[in-house]
Chains A and B, each alone.
Chain A
Amino acid sequence: MIELSVNNKTYHAQEGSLLIDLLIKENIHIPYFCYHEALGADGNCRMCMVSIQGQKRPQIACDTIVKEGMVVDTQNESIKKIRTDILELELINHPVDCPICDQAGECSLQDFYMEYGLHNSQVSIEEKVKHAKKIDLGSDVMLDQERCVLCARCTRFTEKITKTHELGIIGRGDEAKVSTFPGRKLDNPYAMNVVDLCPVGALTSKDFRFSQRVWFLQTSDSVCHGCAKGCSIYVDHNKLKYKDDVIYRFRPRRNDAVNGFFMCDEGRLSYKDLQENRQERTVLNSQDIDEEKAIENVKNLIQTHKTSIAVIIDANLYTEEIEAIVSFSNSIGANVYSPLSVYIDEGFEDDMLKSSNRAANFKSIENLGIDTSFPKAERLFINFNHPHNFSAESQVNFLTHKRNNSGLTFPLASFVESAGTLMNEDGIEQRCEKILFKNNAVPTVLEYLKRIES
């Protein structure tokens, strides 16, 4: 560790580390577009200028390695003036179309302008360089070349992270722009991460754009349930008065132990599943049935088939829920299963984040020693949202989504409507809070068990 001073305060940093990493970590304000911890320094935006004692010229923090005794100033007047001047250049050819831009509200350019700019535009619209504003790059990513600040984060992402090289910069000087190569599309399973990486409104998600102003969104932490990796995510949702809370997007949440900065596109778009085709009513053989009566029916069925009951658990449920189901099953003398083979999807796996095991909490099933084979024939099957459709003489299902099945079916809360813990395939535990509060709340596993056991 070495010691250095920033704005007259002493800090410690790892030898050989970048100054900008220290500034970010210590929450010392520093504007930047091109630097990204996952992509490294590129040094093109020139916004992160700082004064370093003994250096004639201002230096960019992203390309400065910390040194013992270094004296850094990030906020003197000359540095502020430089940032203002560079920002002005950044804006002269920018369309300033914030009112119709999806990034407004979470745009670095906008934030820095409020901080360092606040000047009037000296370049008229006619004089600005014109580029294409609506290019469908593929993979649900839209490009507006005029808004781009050429930070090259997106091109570096396809170069260094996915190594698919779809994006590049073409043209020189103020005619430079991001583009795909002729005849090629942006086409990789992680493509939509460029939308998060883009500090401005140049790259937007076709799925999300124009659906919500970001300042209306509430952001909550959760974990993706798409596979056993369990990527940390932000869930952006909005509840309008009198209406139900609606999720508008998932975004990756930085977690160095699990997913780093990114997530796959399939996981990102999986928020839609939580709002489509949901089991909403309690039914008996497709006919509506009163919930109280249905619970009584369950109790009776358990009594009737006492010696021949199998309980099947979805490996996507929270650990607390699984444990509760196991103890409930023990109390009624039922065998517990969670068939594994249903979750295995070899085609989904890759060497980045995607796991071939599509069950988010399978590790807990394993830890609890639950049988992962298919259940033996029994007279009563109680299925807690396991994706396979089982058939038995009598069936009770607790399902988040509608399916073709017979017997008694109860609607079940999805993972954002419930709380609990998940353990990913590497044994890392993550806690998820209840995020979505519906007007007509769907009961959770724990709530159902309480009622059946009472």
Chain B
Amino acid sequence: MRDCRLVSQKFEIENSYTLEVAKAHGGYKSLEKLDQLSPKQCVEIIKESGLRGKGGGGASAGDKWSLMPQDSTKPSFLVVNCDESEPGTFKDRQIISKDPHLLIEGILLTSYAIQAKHAYIYIRGEYKQFQDILQNAIDEAYDAGLLQNCDITIHRGAGAYICGEKSALLESMEGKRGHPRLKPKQKECEWYFGNPTLVNNVETIASVPYIIENGAQAYRRFGTDESPGTMLFAMSGHIEKPGVYESEFGVSMLEYIHHFGGGIKNGKKLKAVIPGGASTDVLTADEVAKATLDYETLRNMGSALGTGGMIVMDEDVSMVEALKNLLEFYHEESCGQCTPCREGTGWSDKLVEKLLRKEATKDDINKLLEVADTMNGKTICVFAPAVSTVIQSFVKKFRDEFEMKL
């Protein structure tokens, strides 16, 4: 496996979170490039690089940037999404605690490209200790005069998973209840208090300095044609060495698990992997053997790369209990705006609980699938569709385990 550290290059260095150490190891060097680049050219470079949003959706970051008006009469804003709440996902906190200056550097480049004078970092409330590190880094950057063209403010969330959804995040930042907004009728940027706004994940922004400094083609040397570059993949669960390890796209999932994770814990057999945070379809061991870590392959397998946070489960795991664990989370976190999600997450949780109590009938399993179907594609945001496919993949791929509970 090729070693490629574009975002995590300073993670192992002692005191990498300080400005002094960051600068000694090449921090903020990419800013020099801006003398020769217009904002529009920056957007073009990102477009050419094929950088994809690392928050889970995987849409082209360059396309998203192009939606920002270059000649807006209203102020433009950059919002960095650090509401990392997806179960099994813990990559952004590595960036803000190990190399916060890389994020600040990325923010300065991105703000220049979209002509924003103020950037916000929306951080989940539970990340207080990481927020402190990040705030120190921002203070250092202010003191060093790095933030003369762009202010950076950290906005702390109050602990709702849905606020990671970009429009709910903006509602929350506007001081309202974190409810996703109705989708716009055409492709357009986001709006923060009615002003054009770009919302990107921490890792996406942290990937920008490498691309600006080394060019789009340098980034494209890694990964596949359609999924270029690298990603901070992560592993949790029954793995010898859980953690965040950067790799290029397109590598074999199994190889990744063995190379970085040291294989399944205690030499047990692999049963299943949820590939990209909880909200992606579970893969069986057979599927894992065929999977590669890129958006296209996983989508073709009926799942998704998501946030790249793999939840690894060994042979001892009860898939019914695993699903119950996930559904409890969704039941708790559904924002309650749309009927199918508000009621469907609760009901499916209760149905699986009934299974675990061994009180369910075959009808209940069918009802569970029916509720999942009602949740799919009928809501404002993708929360309910994600829950829907999680339920369907668990029940369909491990149906015998569910029926054993009858």
Contact = CB atoms under 8 A, between A and B. Distances in A.
Contacts of B347: 89, 92, 123
A382 B335 CA distance: 66
Nearest to A90: B339
Interface stretch (A173-181, A236-244, A445-453): A173-181
B332 A90 contact: no
B26 to A, nearest CB: 44
Contact of A174 (B177, B343, B377): B343
Contacts of A47: 339
B331 interface: yes
Interface string A83-115: 001101110110000000000000000000000
Given A43-B182, A65-B185, A129-B346, A173 B335 contact: yes
* Max chain B C-beta neighbours (<10 A), residue from A42, A86, A127, A129: A86
Contacts of B380: 43-44
B379 A46 contact: yes
Contact of A46 (B334, B340, B370): B340
B333 A44 contact: no
Interface in B298-349: 331-347
A85 B333 contact: no
B378 A46 contact: yes
Interface string B369-389: 011011001111000000000
B270 interface: no
Contacts, number: 92
A26 B373 CA distance: 32
Contact of B374 (A65, A85, A169, A171): A85
Nearest to B345: A173
Given A82-B378, A93-B346, A173 B333 contact: yes
A85 B371 CA distance: 8
Interface residues of A, number: 34
A176 B336 CA distance: 6
A279 to B, nearest CB: 53
B367 interface: yes
A122 B185 contact: no
Contacts of B345: 173-174
A85 B373 CA distance: 9
Contacts of A175: 336
Interface in A118-152: 122-123, 127, 129, 149-150
A86 B340 contact: yes
A168 interface: yes
Contact of A63 (B182, B331, B342, B373): B182
B160 interface: yes
Interface residues of B, number: 32
A57 interface: yes
Interface string B163-182: 00000000000000100001
B338 A46 contact: yes
Nearest to A33: B339
B350 interface: yes
A89 B335 contact: no
B319 to A, nearest CB: 23
A127 B354 CA distance: 11
Interface in A4-38: none
A49 interface: yes
B160 A44 contact: no
A90 B370 CA distance: 15
Contacts of B185: 65
A42 B162 CA distance: 17
B182 A174 contact: no
Nearest to A123: B347
Given A82-B374, A89-B344, A174-B343, A169 B336 contact: yes
Nearest to A57: B377
Nearest to B374: A85
A85 B340 CA distance: 9
A83 B182 CA distance: 20
A173 B377 contact: no
Contacts of B367: 122
* Max chain A C-beta neighbours (<10 A), residue from B177, B331, B343: B343
Interface string A62-76: 010100000000000
Contacts of B162: 172
A172 B160 contact: yes
Contacts of A88: 374
B332 A44 contact: no
A46 B333 contact: no
Contacts of A82: 374, 378
Contacts of A169: 177, 336
A89 B339 contact: yes
Contacts of B344: 89
B339 A93 contact: no
Contacts of A129: 346
B370 A85 contact: yes
Contacts of B336: 150, 169, 171-176
B342 A173 contact: yes
Given A86-B339, A89-B371, A171-B336, A127 B350 contact: yes
* Max chain B C-beta neighbours (<10 A), residue from A46, A65, A90: A46
Contacts of A65: 185
A42 B338 CA distance: 10
Given A173-B332, A173-B335, A90 B343 contact: yes
A86 B182 contact: no
B182 A41 contact: yes
B332 A172 contact: yes
Contacts of A396: none
A189 interface: no
A413 to B, nearest CB: 49
Given A45-B338, A58-B378, 10 more contacts: A65-B185, A85-B340, A89-B342, A89-B344, A92-B346, A123-B350, A173-B342, A173-B345, A174-B343, A174-B346
Interface of B: 160, 162, 177, 182, 185, 331-347, 350, 367, 370-371, 373-374, 377-380
24 contacts: A57-B377, A86-B339, A86-B374, A89-B339, A90-B343, A92-B343, A92-B346, A92-B347, A122-B367, A123-B350, A169-B177, A169-B336, A172-B160, A173-B333, A173-B334, A173-B341, A173-B346, A174-B331, A174-B343, A174-B345, A174-B346, A176-B335, A176-B336, A176-B342
Which 5 pairs of residues, A with B, have the shortest CB-CB distance?
A: A176-B336, A173-B334, A89-B343, A174-B346, A85-B374
Interface of A: 41-47, 49, 57-58, 63, 65, 82, 85-86, 88-90, 92-93, 122-123, 127, 129, 149-150, 168-169, 171-176
